[in-house]
Structure 1
Amino acid sequence: MHHLLLLFLFLFHLATPSSAAIDTFIFGGCSQPKYTPGSPYETTVNSLLTSLINSAAFANYNNFTLPVATYDTVYGLFQCRGDLSNDQCSRCVARAVTQLGTLCYASCGGALQLDGCFVKYDNATFVGVEDKTVVTKKCGPSVGLTSDALTRRDAVLAYLQTSDGTYKTFRTSAYGDFQGVAQCTGDLSPTECQDCLSGAIQRLKTDCGPSPWAEMYLAKCYASYSQSGSHSRPNNNGNKVSFVWFVGIIFVS
């Protein structure tokens, strides 16, 4: 594939995202097991989520593990989109934590993805574990792309899928009128990240076909592409779609 990449010019800088785009709700899920309000578990969850917010002011990824007395442990992580500033990341994580507290009140585990950041906590170990479960996907209309358009789209996806000799959890590319974004969570190894992104990109092609835009979110990574003028993310209208997630429910805007 390296000889093909020489034919294309890829752009690595995207426009600074607006607050509205950063805060757009993508999905959320909660575990069925509940904890008792006012219990040590709740105190630990609150401490962990606070730590995630504070850490987001200095980094776009971090994870924490906190013990609950002597009988349990809570794991948590956040991941911001790679093009966000520290201030944007911190605001996004704070908003995600607030929404997660409402959506998953008293749940032992929960996860929430906004356009700009992802937050998850649970008492089951998930940090450092690859997970390619499809959480949610969105496909544009099957209008059919011309062969030239498909070539441009595939070139964008091919670059997102290549490591380019360096390890990057966040990747962007553009060719002609197509743009693409891909990212995996920072707890994955380079090999796991590559495997996850390759899986997400392959699912984009097989599940969405010749669509002018598509988004694929797996549990530990995502990939998306769009043709200029083909896709504008809708406002969060509260539409819900059932989805099993660690015995939970997924809500999709």
Structure 2
Amino acid sequence: MASRLLLLVAVVAMHMQLYAVDAKTLRPWPPDCSTTNGYTGNSQYKKNLDQLLATLPAAAAENGWFYEGSSSSSPASDPDQMFGLIMCYADRDAAECLDCLSQASAAITAVCPGSRSARVVYNPCVLQYSDASIRHEADLTVLICCLRLMSELAAAATASPLRLANGSTPYLGSEEMYGLAQCTRDLNGSECARCVSDYVGQLGSRFGNKTGGVIKGYSCYLRFQVAPLAVTLPPAPSQSLLLATGGSSSSSKIGMVVGVSIGSVLILVVLGLCMCFLLWRRRRKQAELHEETRAMEDEFEKGLGPKQFQYVELAIATDNFSETHKLGEGGFGSVYRGFLKDMNLHVAIKRVSKGSRQGRKEYASEVRIISRLRHRNLVLLIGWCHGDGKLLLVYELMPNGSLDKHLYSVDNRLSWSLRHKIVLEIASAILYLHEEWEQCVLHRDIKPSNVMLDASFNAKLGDFGLARLVDHARRSHTTVLAGTFGYMDPECGVRGMASVQSDIYSFGVVLLEIACGRSPIVVLDDDVIHLVCHVSDLHSQGRVLDAVDPRLNGEFDAQEMKRVIMAGLWCTQDDQGMRASIRQVVSVLRLELPLPSLAKRPLNTDPSSIETNNV
């Protein structure tokens, strides 16, 4: 019985008026503060209380959001010994719980100043302290009474000839909660009950945080407030009027009642069917989410290193995902800088936006792929967290950010020796993905913004949200086209499929971009062309080194530069069959193979025109 009453507290608590203290203080429901034997600001009791309240939040965060303890500065016999308890409610998420834990202690002293014992309920958590040990017995106090009062008044109005009832019930201390329920007197008892019961059911959603409210309709009326209501009862109707009204149209009233009853039944049936459908669809989505979560966990278990984190750990690491910790934001979520104290490690935490279906797909792709990959030039996945719709991935932090920010920085240009090292490291990563791992991994989004640089400017390829696995025997294609405009293989627009060759094309664009210091879309003399087209034009004229980034001021190794540019042109040949493999590219870049002999393209032939001409 006690557990059922406690459940009632949790259910009806949603409908409480928030007890306002000030704009910055966490607002509780009506508190229970002792008013006798208060403490002073410099007393030992106050010092013990401050110590206890400072201990409870951190202890609860590490103890499953619940903690019961006492101040430790006094022996148990000391009258100033303090006891306390704090807990989060399960219908709130981790972020709300952490907010409540961190603010509850300060808020309780604000709403119960000088009280030797206090009990306060907030939306996300409950906190109490006392100079006596916490009693481990159920407290059956219900913190809201308007629902019970209005339910009683609804029943009374149904039975009243006047179809109205008013009354009150104790609320807080000496305060009273007053209520009124009334129907139009044309309704019989059952119709009045149906109307006011429906309105009572709406009180929670309409006035969840109010100590007063009104619902007024054409057939019935509800009102409650913490103040007396000026109710004027109407005079009783005369018997002759009742007889005249009742006898003149009895048959029409019977027909009206039958019609209303049938219509009501039909409406209830339709509403019932709609609710059943919505519940079925919700359960199916929950089941699909559960299966997806289990599948992702199975995939992570195949990996050797990633750790499963609790959401609260990552929230603490990022100061509850504050804006000051945000490193960047993409189409499907944000990335935050965090610090894991237990591991003494700075990390980057990627949080997928709620409701982003594409974001969930990308998260699942990273679960399946990057958790199983290990290479010095791939961004390392430290861990993961998913549950309750939250999806997070934890990576090693790359302090120097992405390659594109350095390629186009005005103040911090990359030297050629550093660019050449980065080129070799990206090529090494792609060689591992395409040929050296157990399956062929198609990255499908190779571009400078997905190349991350660590503290020593070592390059690491990241963001496997669009990646796909194919068997080495079927590495020629996959079924879905994806990527970023400017880096996508034009041939994919014709065939509608990405492939190893399309990854090679994207890498070729990146090679040219690093050498030339230009984005894939180039503006020349009011003409907009692709970078591949621009460099091909210069190659056709025998002036390939004229494409070099002018910000290098001629400070580069000509042989290395020419090999990078020619490798980029080889990777971006129109015919996929004429493109280099990643192993051939690596050999050319390492001076292990001679430069390729490439046919000269017609001047100003934009590769993207292939797609346009075939649409």
TM-score by length of 1: 0.47
Q: TM-score when scaled to structure 2?
A: 0.21
Structure having greater relative contact order (Cα 8 Å, sep ≥ 6):
1
Q: Which has the higher helix share?
A: 2
